[in-house]
A and B are shown apart, each in its own frame.
Chain A
Amino acid sequence: MTWEIVIGLEVHTQLSTNTKIFSGASTAFGAEPNTQADAVSLALPGVLPVLNKGAVERAIKFGLATGAHIAPRSVFARKNYFYPDLPKGYQISQFDLPVVGQGSLTIQVEPLSGNAKPYEKTVRITRAHLEEDAGKSVHGESQGVTGVDLNRAGTPLLEIVSEPDMCSAAEAVAYAKALHTLVRWIGICDGNMQEGSFRCDVNVSVRKPGQPLGTRREIKNLNSFKFMQQAIDYEVQWQIDTIENGGKVQQATILFNPDTGETRAMRSKEDAHDYRYFPDPDLLPLEISEEWKEQVRATLPELPQAKQARYVSLLGLSAYDASILTSSREMADFFETVLAAVPNDAKMCANWIMGEVNAQLNRDGLDMSQSPITAQQLGGILKRIADNTISNSGAKEVFRTMWAEGGDADAIIEAKGLKQVSDSGAIEAIVDGVMAANAEKVAEYRSGKDKLFGFFVGAAMKASQGKANPAQLNEVLKKKLAG
């Protein structure tokens, strides 16, 4: 009997403001411990929070990008608990009135196994709210002592909560990736998962079709898509085995260990805190006017989905190509810059970027922003394919040279003598020469041995030292061989 998997995600995105959400201290990563902990970060007696408008604007951007309701009035609340990395003894968050209400994100899912085809799915986003990050406990620096680093305390976070709309690890990963792309795309988060800028908590439960939702367990703090998939796979199997062996799943918070590939419970529901949420009296309700919302909207770039649709309908690309080309803002910008050089050859641009460029980047372990060939340079090559100056194989040689040594396409074509022969007189002369030298084969061809056509193409190309325009050469050969 089959099981249905139910997955929802809570994603903490660190917002890319220079200063903290409630103070002017820097948010830069990697500073010496506590050098970015000002009086507010330290929660000295008497200090007060002042809301960073930049954090609010990023939340608005996210809400607009996911078609969500932006609350005209939302409220900051205190979440009370004691921990050494939580200097005030409470975290300022949003509880029953979040800044961003219900929205959605459409994702492309590529099933992980079998022959199943990619498909599209819309995941509902329940809410997104602003809150401050905690500091970090530093263990083991000196014996028996735990240190506290409050550099991160007060860093702005947007917690994005989805509905339990995903029903496989593939869907969960696709959603997380789409969210990761989106937050970087709209410039609200640097997306650096190693540094903790994008952290996922995954709620997993299983049930028999038609049954009510099963008890969920929450896998905390996943910071890679690979681990997310492994953790979900392991957890789903664990839950199914537990139930099938007559056991019961208990609500719990669990951690994934990448070394063993297993999940283990961190705390059970019984240990759950009573956070005693109440509105923070130090902060006024956050009011967002229509005007402010529209000002932020004006700064939003064209979103990946809109671009995808445009690439398919106006440029004639496949949905697959369109989704790859919009997998990051850098990729899409690169594509559009190349396209500007050859506006009528979108498919060629796509092929080159997804083929040659990606292959070379992978080989050299680089990402798009580090590509040694700029989009303008690649456009220069493609322009010469389009105007028949070089052949496709010639273009590949230009590309290889440019990758290794840099330079401008026309200069490389000139230096390497790659310009193809498109002069019809010259091509006719070459064809005539080849036919004269192979009179017997011409006769055989004319008597019906069509397969010899390839031989003539090869011979003529060789005679042109590879520079003849292939299409033109074919045409002339066909005409002359026909007699």
Chain B
Amino acid sequence: MIESSLSQMGAALRAKKISSVELTQLYLDRMAKLNPELNAYITIRPEASLAQAKAADARIAAGTAEALTGIPFGQKDIFCAKDWLTTCGSKMLHNFVSPYDAHVISQFNNAGAVNLGKTNMDEFAMGSSNETSHYGIVKNPWDKARVPGGSSGGTASAIAARLCAAATGTDTGGSIRQPAALCGISGLKPTYGVVSRYGMIAFASSLDQAGPMGRNAEDLALMLNTMAGFDERDSTSLQREKEDYARDLNKPLNGLRIGIPKEFFAEGLGSDVAKAVEAAIAEYKKLGAVIVDISLPNTRLSIPVYYVLAPAEASSNLSRFDGVRYGYRAPEYTDLADMYEKSRAQGFGAEVQRRIMIGTYVLSHGYYDAYYLQAQKIRRLIAQDFVEAYKHCDVIMGPTSPSTAFKLGEKGDDPVQMYLSDIYTIAVNLAGLPGMSIPCGFGDNDMPVGLQIIGNYFDEARMLNVAHQYQLATDWHSRAPQGI
């Protein structure tokens, strides 16, 4: 059952071949066995999950089940979920039990899905290896000496280890796609504004976007159908017609124009990754696609631009964590300023503090124009590159990450090396475009390689079609790590 697609699982549940309680218990048992080592979940509440499963079974019995009713999902711990500890991977929120549901959580709840637990993540989604979590590092099920990627590393690890049917992620600079690539699973970051950010703890508001992660494109389409949609509580949520993201899954790819940006295959790309990605592109040619050489000249600036804008927004977004109303407060302090300083110095980890300092600096009087404004201008140039490119192609493809999963601790003391692992993903967030990663083979050390598919605005259905057709022709996505 755990290798079934979501639609197969849903069908089995509705046909009463298995109950949601049984399916949920199956995953809870696996989690009890495997999570202590992988550390993919921060919070597990079997009684709460089983209560939801029971309610789902009642709904199935009543004949009002929907596509996802009764299916157990993991939820990234960045989403506020009522009565659940919601930590965002930080000591700062070690005691924060949310009084309300994020939009994404209520969408899953309304669909009758089961919440299996809150998945681990880099602290406040800042990291590419899941090593900044206050709740411990997460291990990659393909090689437990290696990172799962980040920041949605708990979600990616849990899916690869079959500790949930699928799970949610969020992506500010690659946090869905990079861990999906490193753990050999599929993940989609939608167009900015497609999924409401309400109740999703903000890192960089203008870049943050929630999306589905799972074992295949078909599953992602079903999840996105549940997650997407206008929400008046998020002013950046887009008012659009509801669409069925699975509608084009089975379209043939004849004549599809795939843009290959030369900048994605330049210096810094691991040769093993390049080989797997090139093989995937060759496979697409067999499926009838046409390859178009394109250029995204400003992509090289995306990391510096990102590391001005994202920390700037983060420095302000994280100001609310001050020890006054909720969350961590230093046990001892002399006065108000001391309480702020100690609570924040003790409550935030090193990477979060580093970004708060960078962000505070670039917004300071006298530096704003040189950093923040300049970065905003380049951001527009980066977006313009894509507008230009889409005049010549339908989707853009390349590697998701320059290397496969690296060793735990390998890049821990070199933040710039760590930042470079998002070099192919960040431009997509800066432009607000949808991007996804699907498994396309294995590199050195037998670690998974991800193929990145970047679509035009609101072209998620086409991207899912492109991914699905590849997954019909290949089996990389159905490989599972050994020993799980």
Q: Which residues of A are in contact with B by a Cβ distance under 8 Å?
A: 39, 42-51, 78, 80, 82, 84, 87-90, 148, 274, 276-278, 281-284
A39 contact from B88, B100, B313, Cβ within 8 A: B100
Known: A46-B200, A78-B316. Contact between A51 and B322, CB under 8 A? no
Taking a contact as CB atoms under 8 Å apart, the answer to whether A276 and B100 are in contact is no
B197 contact from A44, A48, A50, Cβ within 8 A: A48
Q: Which 7 A-B pairs have the closest CB atoms?
A: A89-B319, A276-B363, A281-B206, A281-B205, A46-B199, A43-B320, A45-B201
Complex contacts, A47 vs chain B, CB 8 Å: 198-199
Complex contacts, A283 vs chain B, CB 8 Å: 235
Taking a contact as CB atoms under 8 Å apart, the answer to whether B199 and A42 are in contact is no
Chain B min CB distance to A9 (Å)? 25
Chain B min CB distance to A239 (Å)? 28
Taking a contact as CB atoms under 8 Å apart, the answer to whether A50 and B235 are in contact is yes
Taking a contact as CB atoms under 8 Å apart, the answer to whether A46 and B325 are in contact is no
Binds A, one of B5-13, B364-372, B384-392: B364-372
Complex contacts, B200 vs chain A, CB 8 Å: 46
Q: Is B236 part of the binding interface, using a Cβ–Cβ cutoff of 8 Å?
A: yes
Kindly state the separation between the CA atoms of A264 and B372 in the bound complex, as whole angstroms: 38
Chain B min CB distance to A49 (Å)? 7
Q: Is B381 part of the binding interface, using a Cβ–Cβ cutoff of 8 Å?
A: no
Which chain A residue lies CB-closest to B327?
A: A45
Taking a contact as CB atoms under 8 Å apart, the answer to whether B198 and A84 are in contact is no
Give me 17 other A-B pairs in contact (C-beta within 8 A), A46-B80, A48-B233, A274-B364 excluded.
Answer: A43-B325, A44-B98, A44-B326, A45-B321, A46-B199, A48-B197, A50-B234, A50-B235, A78-B316, A80-B316, A80-B363, A82-B322, A87-B324, A90-B319, A276-B363, A281-B313, A282-B236
14 contacts between A and B (CB under 8 A): A39-B100, A42-B325, A45-B88, A46-B201, A47-B198, A48-B197, A48-B233, A48-B234, A78-B316, A84-B336, A87-B324, A148-B324, A276-B364, A284-B235
Kindly state the separation between the CA atoms of A78 and B205 in the bound complex, as whole angstroms: 13
Q: Is B93 part of the binding interface, using a Cβ–Cβ cutoff of 8 Å?
A: yes
Taking a contact as CB atoms under 8 Å apart, the answer to whether A84 and B324 are in contact is yes
Q: Is B302 part of the binding interface, using a Cβ–Cβ cutoff of 8 Å?
A: no
Which chain A residue lies CB-closest to B324?
A: A84
Taking a contact as CB atoms under 8 Å apart, the answer to whether B205 and A282 are in contact is yes
Taking a contact as CB atoms under 8 Å apart, the answer to whether B232 and A50 are in contact is yes
Taking a contact as CB atoms under 8 Å apart, the answer to whether B320 and A89 are in contact is yes
**Max chain B Cβ within 10 angstroms of own Cβ: one of A45, A50, A277:** A45
Q: Is B406 part of the binding interface, using a Cβ–Cβ cutoff of 8 Å?
A: no
Complex contacts, A48 vs chain B, CB 8 Å: 197-198, 233-235
Complex contacts, B80 vs chain A, CB 8 Å: 44-46
Q: Is B409 part of the binding interface, using a Cβ–Cβ cutoff of 8 Å?
A: no
Known: A44-B80, A47-B199, A80-B319. Contact between A278 and B235, CB under 8 A? no
Q: Which residues of B are in contact with A by a Cβ distance under 8 Å?
A: 79-80, 86, 88, 93, 96, 98-100, 102, 197-202, 204-206, 232-236, 312-313, 315-316, 318-322, 324-326, 336, 340, 360, 363-365, 368, 372
| Total of A-B residue pairs, C-beta within 8 Å | 96
Taking a contact as CB atoms under 8 Å apart, the answer to whether A90 and B199 are in contact is no
Complex contacts, A84 vs chain B, CB 8 Å: 322, 324, 336
Complex contacts, B319 vs chain A, CB 8 Å: 80, 82, 88-90
Kindly state the separation between the CA atoms of A283 and B316 in the bound complex, as whole angstroms: 14
Chain A min CB distance to B353 (Å)? 15
Complex contacts, A281 vs chain B, CB 8 Å: 204-206, 236, 313
Chain B min CB distance to A77 (Å)? 10
Which chain B residue lies CB-closest to A49?
A: B235
Which chain A residue lies CB-closest to B100?
A: A39
Complex contacts, A42 vs chain B, CB 8 Å: 325-326
Complex contacts, B365 vs chain A, CB 8 Å: 274, 276
Kindly state the separation between the CA atoms of A43 and B319 in the bound complex, as whole angstroms: 10
Which chain A residue lies CB-closest to B207?
A: A281
Taking a contact as CB atoms under 8 Å apart, the answer to whether A278 and B368 are in contact is yes
Which chain B residue lies CB-closest to A283?
A: B235
Say what secondary structure dominates the interface of chain B: loop
Taking a contact as CB atoms under 8 Å apart, the answer to whether A82 and B340 are in contact is yes
Taking a contact as CB atoms under 8 Å apart, the answer to whether B316 and A278 are in contact is yes
Chain A min CB distance to B235 (Å)? 5
Complex contacts, A39 vs chain B, CB 8 Å: 99-100
Kindly state the separation between the CA atoms of A483 and B84 in the bound complex, as whole angstroms: 108
Kindly state the separation between the CA atoms of A80 and B316 in the bound complex, as whole angstroms: 7
Chain A min CB distance to B307 (Å)? 16
Kindly state the separation between the CA atoms of A121 and B364 in the bound complex, as whole angstroms: 40
Chain B min CB distance to A383 (Å)? 55
Which chain A residue lies CB-closest to B312?
A: A278
Which chain A residue lies CB-closest to B202?
A: A46
Kindly state the separation between the CA atoms of A277 and B360 in the bound complex, as whole angstroms: 11
Known: A42-B325, A45-B80, A45-B96. Contact between A87 and B320, CB under 8 A? yes
Chain B min CB distance to A21 (Å)? 13
**Max chain A Cβ within 10 angstroms of own Cβ: one of B86, B88, B313, B325:** B325
Complex contacts, A49 vs chain B, CB 8 Å: 235
Which chain A residue lies CB-closest to B373?
A: A278
Known: A51-B235, A89-B316, A278-B372. Contact between A44 and B324, CB under 8 A? no
Taking a contact as CB atoms under 8 Å apart, the answer to whether A44 and B100 are in contact is yes
Which chain A residue lies CB-closest to B232?
A: A50
Complex contacts, B96 vs chain A, CB 8 Å: 45
A45 contact from B86, B322, B360, Cβ within 8 A: B86
Which chain A residue lies CB-closest to B88?
A: A45
Which chain B residue lies CB-closest to A24?
A: B233
Chain B min CB distance to A371 (Å)? 45
**Max chain A Cβ within 10 angstroms of own Cβ: one of B79, B232, B235, B318:** B235
Taking a contact as CB atoms under 8 Å apart, the answer to whether A46 and B198 are in contact is yes
Complex contacts, A282 vs chain B, CB 8 Å: 202, 205, 235-236
Kindly state the separation between the CA atoms of A42 and B320 in the bound complex, as whole angstroms: 9
Which chain A residue lies CB-closest to B313?
A: A281
Chain A min CB distance to B54 (Å)? 28
Complex contacts, B325 vs chain A, CB 8 Å: 42-43, 87, 148
Which chain B residue lies CB-closest to A76?
A: B235
Which chain A residue lies CB-closest to B208?
A: A281
Which chain B residue lies CB-closest to A84?
A: B324
Taking a contact as CB atoms under 8 Å apart, the answer to whether B368 and A50 are in contact is no
Complex contacts, A45 vs chain B, CB 8 Å: 80, 86, 88, 93, 96, 98, 201, 320-321
Which chain B residue lies CB-closest to A278?
A: B363
Chain B min CB distance to A14 (Å)? 23
Which chain B residue lies CB-closest to A78?
A: B316
Which chain B residue lies CB-closest to A82?
A: B340
Chain A min CB distance to B338 (Å)? 12
Kindly state the separation between the CA atoms of A270 and B98 in the bound complex, as whole angstroms: 41
Kindly state the separation between the CA atoms of A90 and B86 in the bound complex, as whole angstroms: 23
Which chain A residue lies CB-closest to B206?
A: A281
Complex contacts, A46 vs chain B, CB 8 Å: 79-80, 98, 102, 197-202
Kindly state the separation between the CA atoms of A217 and B29 in the bound complex, as whole angstroms: 69
**Max chain B Cβ within 10 angstroms of own Cβ: one of A39, A46, A78:** A46
Chain A min CB distance to B314 (Å)? 11
Chain B min CB distance to A398 (Å)? 59
Chain B min CB distance to A249 (Å)? 23
